[in-house]
Amino acid sequence: MDFTALAGLPVADVVAFTRPAIDWHAVAPELILLGFGALLTLIDVIFLDRAKQYTAALAGVGLLATMVPILTLANDISETGPRVMFDGAFVVDEFALIMKAVFILSGYVVILLSTNYIGEGDYWESEYYGLMLSSILGMVVMASSRDLISIFVAFELLSIPSYMLATWKKRSLESNEAGLKYYLMGVFASAIMLYGMSLLFGVSGETILTKVNASLTSDPLTGDALSSSTPILTLGIIFVIVGFAFKVSAAPFHSWAPDTYSGAPIPVTAFLAVASKIAGFVALVQLVFVGFYARADVFQPLMWILAAASMIIGNLVALRQTDIVRLMAYSGVAQAGFILAPLAVAGDVGDQALSSIVSYLAIYAAMNLGAFAVILAAARKTGSTSIESMNGLFSYAPGLAVAMTIFMFALAGIPPLGGWFAKFQIFFAVVEQGGTWAILLGVLLAVNSVIALYYYAAVARRIWADEAPNGDLTPIRIPASLSAALVLTVVATLVFGFLPGSISQFTDVGLIAGG
Amino acid sequence: MLLNQFLLLAAVLFCLGVYGVITRKNGVMVLMSIEMILNAVNINLVAFGAFNGTPIGSVFALFVIAVAAAEVGIGLAIVLLIYRNKKSIDFSEVDLLKG
Amino acid sequence: MSLSSLLLFAADAGPALPGYTFAGPWILRNVWLLPLIPALSFLAILFFGKRLPFKGAEIGIASVLSILALAIVANIAWFDHRDNYESEKAEDAAGLLLSDEYATVAIDGEPDSLLLSADAGEGGEAAHGSTAVRNEATWFQSGGQEFKVGTLVDGQAVMMLFVVTFISTLVHVFSTEYVAGDRRYTHYFAFLSLFTASMLLLVVSASTIQFITAWELVGVCSFALIGHWWEEKPNSDAALKAFLTNRVGDIGLLVGMIILFFSAGQTFDIVKINTMALAGEIPQRNLTIAALCLMAAVMSKSGQFILHTWLPDAMAGPTPVSALIHAATMVVAGVYMIARLYGVFFVGFSIEGSPVNPMALIGMFTLIFAGLLAFVQDDIKKVLAYSTVSQLGYMVMALGVGAWTAGMFHLFTHAFFKAGLFLGAGSVAHSVHSFDMKKDMGGMRKFMPTTYKTFIICTLALVGIFPFAGFWSKDEILVGTGGWGLFGGTGGNGNYTLMLIGGIFGAALTGAYMTRVIYLTFFGEFRHVAHHDDHAVDHGHADDAHDAHANHDPHEHGPAITIPLILLAGFATLIGLVNLPPGFITGNLESWQERFFHFYEPSAAAYFPAIAHGTPSYTLAIFASVVGLLGVGLAYFYYFVLVDRKSKAMGESLTELPNGPTSKFGILKAGHTLLVEKYYLDHLYTDVIAGGTKGPLAKAVYWFNQNVLDATVDGVGRTSVIAGKAVYEHIDQTVIDGAVNLSGVVSSETGAGLRKTQNGKIQQYAAYLFAGATLLAGVLIFVI
Amino acid sequence: MNYDNDWFLSVLTFTPLVGALVMMLIPKADEALHKAIALAVSGGLFLFGTFYMLTEFDFDNSGAMQFNFDTNWINVINSRYIVGVDGMALPLILLTLLVVPLCVIYSWDHFPEPANPKAFLILILILETGMIGTFVAEDLILFFVFFEVVLLPMFFMIAVWGGPDRRYASLKFFLFTLFGSALMILAFLSLFFLAEDPSGVALRTFDIQALTEWGGANLTRSAGLLIFGGMFMGFGIKVPMFPFHTWLPDAHTQAPTVGSVILAAVLLKLGTYGFIRIAIPILPQAAVEWAPWIGLLAVIGIIYGALGCLAQTDMKRLIAFSSVSHMGFVMLGIATLTTFGINAAVFGMVAHGLITGILFFVAGSVKDRYHTLEIERLGGLLLQAPRMGWILGFATMASLGLPGLAGFWGEFPAILSAYNPANGVSETIFRTYMVIAAVGTVLAAGYLLWLLQRTAFGEPSEEFANDPEIVDASRFEYVAWAPMLVLIVVLGIFPNLIFKTSDPAVEKSLHPCLSAEGEEFIALDCPAVFGVEVAGG
């Protein structure tokens, strides 16, 4: 069979491979992470158990080391502008850098959370950090990916290690089940996403997002300008978005999240609920703002529906939860709805929508990680994650109680705690658009923040107003790393709340479409 | 061009895969169904690539194949783990976590 | 007049405005001292009273004595100011009546009537109107406009200052003995002081909002003093009823004052409101509505039908309080307000030249209605209470027919004799520990001669027997109705014949019920049961003092009680002479006629209407006196003759005939036996008197009063509570709160429903995922 | 506008927060130190703040913002940290400064269960920061933040130290307010985006003064109405206006005494303050159209609250319902959109704060002694604790609007102003409201005196007749109550203390067309909405 004939390609067009220019500074964060990841795996293989006590620290150092090129890059691009590689498939711009920083720092906090939990558990340790770093590497790559293929690869790079992390407690049926569900749904979603990508590729003939976007405005067959979407385009866009909607646990693609969260080890849950979810949003943002921006008539209603459904379903089901981790899962669904909301107006108020999402993600990372840190700390004593186990926390662990209160109300969006500004930015974007549907979404947001408060405040109330179970008032011993994580998250949550400028000056970013 | 036929094939494969994922009880069968979907994607990619006269489709398909391999590896590991703990790979029985 | 000239401060402050000045004698510009002193006394008693030897009474008495002195000085200063101010400011005389601002004000009254009083005093100065003295300070501001608090002193005010301080002084003195040993002796005096302060504030108010303030404050003092013995529920019930009934009237007060405020161009200034009302600058409709609203306030405060029901209940308070508050001063606040805002009422009710208006009608109806009610009371204080209501009716009627001076004069005289009656009743009750005339009194003249004599004098004054005070004032009211074509008089503001008849009939009623009181209380034999254990009535005593009294005969009290009685009796005798009618005497003493009118009516001031004054007639005076005496005579015959005879026959002290008339004589039958039936008079008397007591009319009135009016008041209260409960339970807790809670339940239940979809089956999740994706695709492709 | 960047208000606002932070670092066991710090911070702040404000505030120019401070805060949304005080805010700030130390003193020797003075006092101080901040904020977002800051401490105060039903009550309080403020923030944002000057340049500012100057010009009618509606929900729920009032009785009943006092004295005022500081000045035209509805809800509130009171069997709940009624008067004054009405409202806020504060204090002390607030079981308070009984009597008198006491000046001028509402607001409707409100005063007297009769008068019930726990007011109670009692009298006698301060500010806050007449009206070229009577909105 004449392959070239089938492909319709003139043989002469197949040019010799030339190595594309590589901007080493721009990929330095990825390389450092890769290095540390490999190093951890090697150490594990070579030293086995003997390296146990160093691995966590090494992982932490690796993450912090990664911050160095991120900072230098930030300094660099503020002078010279964004860096673009591989024909626009890999871009380092403000958005990419702030998100990378968020991933790295979230990852660092997750490592702090994991140190004792994994160390004290009955499981292999070194692999854990190696996998964690690989997953973070995937996220970091994701932040720069502006190409369907690289997004797909980054997506899988961050997902595959996390499937394993979720199944970490090998002998626990719950953990197995959590991993299985996460894995199966993830693979299924990515398969659908890929199908969507294939359709988009088919329509545009391109994988670079900017080029995809450029092709969306005209009919591929006739070349006429498109006044509205074509079914195949719509299907493609929806399938791609569904893949990431799964990742951010937006309803109705959220069903894996509660089960996985409650089965997986708590630090992993925190990782999934924060870093992994943020990665999903990063991908969505890039797709929407770079790849599909011309097709606001498709993604805006889609995002509207997803946002509304997520908020409503997440909040209502959360009202009936008895397990704090599951509660956090559903709250995460609702939070996803909030973060999706600006995307429903992104076609008209792109800048504001983008910066509101970035702000939200950064603040969300701080407060959600903090909440998991407290859950983790409390579970050290109670050994349970039922909401009732939080009863009377204030009476024996006032510090934890105050911290948890701060996180709960921050998540609920009560000023002056961080979450308010995140929510406020969302409102800001939605109102700026000002259309009927936008205002309706705004009202939905408002109503849902009230419903959400109900269960957040209920947790806080248990902590403060109820009696400790069995009157057991022995204090909780909190290891240093966990304390550090708590302090970091509390401070971040408060600072973001009191001085929103501290985060907004970083999140008011431009998203460079690339080459 | 035979594009439509390729696309139709891919769509059928996709649907079969989805059907399999949703209905098959056996874990391995479910994994295979997913492979079917991925292969539907590959067919699409290659067909579109050929149609559009660009090698990117084929490149993309190669990435998909590579990643799918890794994914299935993980999948099988998890199924194995469940089998070890539960002595069953019937996914419909894996419902410890719910609500 | 030397004292007043000492106090005359010849400052010439501010431009001359119609009818008032900011200059004038020092004391008149500084009458704010009068309310201030007792107010401070209130605080002093409250905070230090208990530590003082006389438990605070000394502070109270000192303060009232000082303000009595000030009030007398103020009166004297006013007399001088009234007559001499204008001559000092002769150059402004013209501008006084018609300033630039009120150039449109026309005094369209009869010149003659204005000059009636202009009978040239000693100085022989030119006749001129009265010039009120004002003083003011900013109270608050709104919208950049400042609103004043201040004093407005004219004849009406200084007259009231004297009445209030005088009665208050006597009541203070009386109380030192009457409430001696009371558990809350100190509080009692504190509230007397506060009341005095509030009442004086009301009297000198220059603005309506200040008036409202004082009006409410006296109400609170009344509340506190009625409920003085709040341990018993009936007392606190009475206090609540008084307050709440007054609050109902206050709706009218507030609304009326608000209408006036805006109608007169956003001002609370009483002078300005009156002036504008009289100058026709306020629409008649507004004035009428405002006057009607204010009338509601008068009806509650001054116990006019139908809002009078609180006043008899208010007798639950200590008797001196009843004398001060519920007879002499507070209850006349309504009357005072009418007099103060007379321009508003005069125009609003078109008093001039009409035969009837709401105010006169209410007054007349009240005086008859209450007079009837007074018959059926066994409690001496309640008789006096209804009598007060009746007399207040006279005053309101007087003002309603345009007889301003007559109304105020009656207020003036009534204060003394009614206070005397109340204190007398208190004196008796203090001895027998009861107010029940039928059970616990009788024959008291033997035990308490001073009380008896003073009581008789005050009764004569009340009934209106020549030459006691009530005669003069009641006569003037009758004259003022102008409805006496029958008697050949002239003048008046209208043709209020109905009011005249009502007034005369009222006089007869007054005579009759007072005679009954006299008999039941002071004649017959003492009916008190020695070991009578009912402590409920007079709480003035601590229990031990009470027991010490119990087995003794009643006796006269010490000077603290008798001296006030004697003083009041003296006033009741003589005070009527201050306003002798014109033409009563001639010659050198002619200038002693109509002094009250001359000094106290703000004649020819732009804020006061030009009212016409009637000429009195001997015929009317005699006729009215005869009718009054007829009432006395009938009652006398029934009690002093029939009942007394029967009592002696039966050997016990009866209060009524044991076999009252059970059958009525038909008119025909009565007619043909008219002259021959020897018991005709007996029957007539028993029919009229006993009929009045037990028969259909008074009984029906009483039944109406208790079961309709009073029950309405109670019913309104009860209904609001029931309405409140219904609203609270069925609307608030069920509908509104229910809706809120329901939204919570619905959310929660929806959550529970959705939760069921999360059944743990992974492939179902996959189905959701795919279904979601296809559904979304369907919607976006086919719908949007 | 002259921004002289005065540090004073920031110190005032954040000192309590600093105090709270210091207290957080001190171990829980050192209760005496905690009390001392709390008292020193709040009391010191009261003395310093009052002294400074009374001496430095330019009362002749009380219509202008003073002690201004203006600096960057959140640049991306152009929200600034602007604080300032004018005559409208000053009385409320002073009230806040006063009430907080009194609450600390009152709590001194009997903290509600489960004690823990440290946490309790920290919450009070955080509350103080929130309350003062709300009154000084001159930026919508800053206002919003402070408005919400208040929620958390109050939520905990009810949830932890509250009565048996505290869980329900605290959440209800929180949810209601949050619901309102969520809509409020939408309204604020709409203002931000829709406000443009006459030349069509978007203002893009949250500065309250700048927006007031803009005054809703060239905003479409429907947008104005909707935005006002959003703010109405936010502020109205806080006030609380009928039918959003149901959180209040529950919150009050369950809250600890001090919580009730602060709630009544200051928190409810945040809502009314929002109306007069933000909603009405910024959107006068929408206010005119909303006024009849606000007035309607206000008078319904007056009557409804009073009827609710008559049905109560619990003393505290009765007082809570009375707040609904009294805040109805405040809202009626506000709804008239006249200087008279709004001055009355400002006065009414302060007066209600003091009076209802005292009533809650007394109710709390009654509860401490009798361990119940069921009116049926009480009685004879005047015999058992005469001073407390008299104070209760005094407070009820003040509460029913007795002239000469503070309550009158919030009530009467409000009723009065309803006779003659602003241009464009239906006179007929408001005169009807006036009469209904006047009837409300009778009902107020009814339920308050009935309360007094059933609790203070009569003989004590057998149950408590010889209870040794029932003693008269303690030293701490006296100290805590005396300033409020004195102020009730002083303000009643010298109303100009507040009126003169608030009047220029109120006048400045109202659109000139609301009161202009005749030629002036024409000269101002007023929009049609100010001229025609808009029947029923």
Residue range A275-284, pLDDT digits in tens = 999 999 999 9
Residue D194: list chain A partners with CB under 8 A.
434
Does D301 contact C at CB distance below 8 Å? no
Helix ranges (DSSP H) in C433-582: 437-440, 444-447, 449-463, 469-480, 497-522, 543-550, 559-574
One domain for residues C511 and C646: yes
Nearest neighbour of C765 by CB, restricted to A256, A297, A298: A256
Say how far apart CA A8 and CA A5 lie, in whole Å. Answer: 5
- The mean per-residue pLDDT over the stretch C431-438 comes to 79
Q: Which two tokens stand for residue C282?
A: 């306020």
Q: pLDDT tens digits for C438-479?
A: 777 777 888 888 888 899 899 989 988 888 888 888 888 888
Does B98 contact A at CB distance below 8 Å? yes
Q: Is the pLDDT of residue D272 over 50?
A: yes
With an 8 Å Cβ cutoff, are C762 and B23 in contact?
no
With an 8 Å Cβ cutoff, are C784 and A297 in contact?
yes
Does C725 contact D at CB distance below 8 Å? yes
Cβ atoms of A314 and A334 closer than 8 Å: yes
With an 8 Å Cβ cutoff, are B70 and A9 in contact?
no
DSSP per residue, D388-448: HHHHHHHHHHHHTT-TTSHHHHHHHHHHHHHHS--TTB-HHHHHHHHHHHHHHHHHHHHHH
What residues 367-406 of chain D have any CB closer than 8 A to a CB of chain C? 380, 382-383, 397, 402-404
With an 8 Å Cβ cutoff, are A313 and C754 in contact?
yes
Q: pLDDT tens digits for C603-612?
A: 777 788 887 7
First-to-last alpha carbon distance for chain B, in angstroms, is 51
Nearest neighbour of B21 by CB, restricted to C755, C761, C766: C766
Q: Is the pLDDT of residue C697 over 70?
A: no
What residues 140-199 of chain C have any CB closer than 8 A to a CB of chain D? 140-144
Determine which of A239-248, C703-712, C756-765, D186-195 has the lowest per-residue pLDDT on average: C703-712
Q: Where are the domains of chain B?
A: 3-90
Determine which of A11-25, A253-267, C714-728 has the lowest per-residue pLDDT on average: A11-25
With an 8 Å Cβ cutoff, are C262 and D495 in contact?
no
Interface test with C, best of B14, B15, B16, B18 (most C CBs within 10 A): B18
Q: Looking at the domain assignment, is residue C94 inside a domain?
A: no
Q: Looking at the domain assignment, is residue C433 inside a domain?
A: yes
B in contact with D (at least 3 C-beta pairs within 8 A): no
Q: Where are the domains of chain D?
A: 8-530
* Residue at token pair 């300032």: D84
Residue D312: list chain C partners with CB under 8 A.
728
Close Cβ partners of D221 (under 8 Å, ≥ 6 residues apart): D285, D286, D289, D529
- The mean per-residue pLDDT over the stretch A358-369 comes to 93
* Residue at token pair 């002694």: D369
With an 8 Å Cβ cutoff, are B91 and C762 in contact?
yes
Q: Which two tokens stand for residue D97?
A: 């400064």
Say how far apart CA C511 and CA C517 lie, in whole Å. Answer: 10
Is the pLDDT higher at A470 or at C32? C32
With an 8 Å Cβ cutoff, are B22 and C761 in contact?
no
Q: Residue C391 is inside which H or E element, if any? A: helix C380-400
One domain for residues C626 and C742: no
User: Which residue of C lies nearest to D508 if distances are taken between CA atoms?
Assistant: C143
Q: Looking at the domain assignment, is residue C360 inside a domain?
A: yes
Does C750 contact A at CB distance below 8 Å? yes
Residue C767: list chain B partners with CB under 8 A.
22
Question: How much of chain B, in percent, has pLDDT values that exceed 90?
Answer: 57
Residue A180: list chain C partners with CB under 8 A.
762
Q: Omega before D114 cis (within 30°)?
A: yes
| Cα of C756 to nearest chain B Cα, Å | 6
Residue A181: list chain B partners with CB under 8 A.
94, 97
Q: Which two tokens stand for residue D195?
A: 């406000």
Q: Which two tokens stand for residue D115?
A: 């004690």
DSSP per residue, C632-699: HHHHHIIIIIIIHHHHHHHTS--SS-SS---SPPPHHHHHHTTTT-TTHHHHHHIIIIIHHHTSHHHH
Close Cβ partners of A443 (under 8 Å, ≥ 6 residues apart): D183, D186
CA-based nearest residue to A135, from A112, A106, A115, A113:
A106
pLDDT score at C8: 38
Say how far apart CA A264 and CA A177 lie, in whole Å. Answer: 9
With an 8 Å Cβ cutoff, are C763 and B95 in contact?
no
Q: Is the pLDDT of residue C119 over 50?
A: no
pLDDT score at C65: 92
| Cα of D146 to nearest chain A Cα, Å | 7
Chains that touch B (3 or more CB pairs under 8 A): A, C
| Cα of A43 to nearest chain D Cα, Å | 43
With an 8 Å Cβ cutoff, are D446 and C737 in contact?
no
Nearest neighbour of B21 by CB, restricted to C755, C761, C763: C763
Q: Distance from CA of residue C341 to its chain's centroid?
A: 16
Determine which of C66-75, C506-515, D219-228, D349-358 has the lowest per-residue pLDDT on average: C506-515
Q: Is the pLDDT of residue A160 over 50?
A: yes
pLDDT score at C169: 92
Question: How much of chain B, in percent, has pLDDT values that exceed 70?
Answer: 99
Q: Is the pLDDT of residue D2 over 70?
A: no
pLDDT score at C528: 66
Nearest neighbour of B94 by CB, restricted to A177, A190, A192: A177
Say how far apart CA A56 and CA A113 lie, in whole Å. Answer: 10
Look at domain B3-90 and name its CATH class: mainly alpha
Q: pLDDT tens digits for D422-446?
A: 988 888 999 999 999 998 888 888 8
One domain for residues C363 and C444: yes
Does A233 contact C at CB distance below 8 Å? no
Q: Looking at the domain assignment, is residue C468 inside a domain?
A: yes
Determine the structural domain holding residue C436 and report its residue range. Answer: 349-530+558-579+617-656
**Angle at which helices A350-382 and A94-120 pack, to 10 degrees?**
10
| Cα of D246 to nearest chain C Cα, Å | 6
Q: pLDDT tens digits for C390-423?
A: 999 999 998 888 888 888 899 999 999 999 999 9
pLDDT score at B1: 57
- The mean per-residue pLDDT over the stretch A300-329 comes to 93
Q: Residue A240 is inside which H or E element, if any? A: helix A231-247
pLDDT score at A474: 85
Confidence of residue C480 (pLDDT cuts 50, 70, 90): confident
Q: pLDDT tens digits for C256-315?
A: 999 999 988 888 988 888 888 888 888 889 999 999 999 999 998 898 887 888 888 888
pLDDT score at D105: 92
Confidence of residue C552 (pLDDT cuts 50, 70, 90): low
Q: Is the pLDDT of residue D126 over 70?
A: yes
Nearest neighbour of A259 by CB, restricted to C757, C760, C779: C760
Question: How much of chain D, in percent, has pLDDT values that exceed 90?
Answer: 51
Confidence of residue A172 (pLDDT cuts 50, 70, 90): confident
Instruction: State the Cα torsion C646-C651-C654-C656 to the nearest 10°.
Output: -20
pLDDT score at C538: 45
Q: Looking at the domain assignment, is residue C184 inside a domain?
A: no
Confidence of residue D534 (pLDDT cuts 50, 70, 90): very low
- Mean pLDDT of chain D, nearest integer: 89
Residue B13: list chain A partners with CB under 8 A.
none
Helix ranges (DSSP H) in D63-165: 90-107, 117-136, 140-149, 151-161
Q: pLDDT tens digits for D43-70?
A: 999 999 999 998 888 888 888 898 999 9
pLDDT score at C134: 85
pLDDT score at C104: 34
Confidence of residue A220 (pLDDT cuts 50, 70, 90): low
Q: pLDDT tens digits for D62-114?
A: 888 989 999 888 888 888 999 999 999 999 999 999 999 999 999 888 788 77
- The mean per-residue pLDDT over the stretch A347-367 comes to 90
Cβ atoms of C140 and D408 closer than 8 Å: no
Bridge-based pairing state of the strands C20-21 and C132-142: parallel
With an 8 Å Cβ cutoff, are A446 and D175 in contact?
no
| Cα of A211 to nearest chain C Cα, Å | 23
Q: Which two tokens stand for residue D199?
A: 């030349």
| Cα of B19 to nearest chain A Cα, Å | 11
CA-based nearest residue to C266, from D123, D517, A126, A446:
D517
* Residue at token pair 């339940």: C745
Structural domain tally of chain C? 2
Question: How much of chain A, in percent, has pLDDT values that exceed 90?
Answer: 51
Is the pLDDT higher at C5 or at C699? C699
Residue B15: list chain A partners with CB under 8 A.
none
SS3 C126: coil
One domain for residues C364 and C448: yes
With an 8 Å Cβ cutoff, are A416 and D149 in contact?
yes
Say how far apart CA C703 and CA C710 lie, in whole Å. Answer: 10
pLDDT score at A512: 60
Bridge-based pairing state of the strands A90-92 and C20-21: unpaired
With an 8 Å Cβ cutoff, are B44 and A199 in contact?
yes
The 3-state secondary structure of C696-725 reads HHHHHHHHHHHHHHHHHHHHHHHHHHHHHH
User: Which residue of B lies nearest to A14 if distances are taken between CA atoms?
Assistant: B55
Residue C535: list chain D partners with CB under 8 A.
none
Q: pLDDT tens digits for D325-340?
A: 999 999 999 999 999 8
pLDDT score at D532: 54
Nearest neighbour of A320 by CB, restricted to C748, C757, C777: C748
Say how far apart CA D358 and CA D360 lie, in whole Å. Answer: 5
Residue A255: list chain C partners with CB under 8 A.
757-758, 764-765, 768-769
Say how far apart CA D514 and CA B76 lie, in whole Å. Answer: 77
Confidence of residue C29 (pLDDT cuts 50, 70, 90): confident
Q: Which two tokens stand for residue C579?
A: 């306003």
Q: Which two tokens stand for residue C98?
A: 């018609």
Interface test with D, best of C140, C201, C211 (most D CBs within 10 A): C140
Q: Is the pLDDT of residue D537 over 60?
A: no
Q: What angle do CA D175, D178, D181 make, to 5 degrees?
A: 155
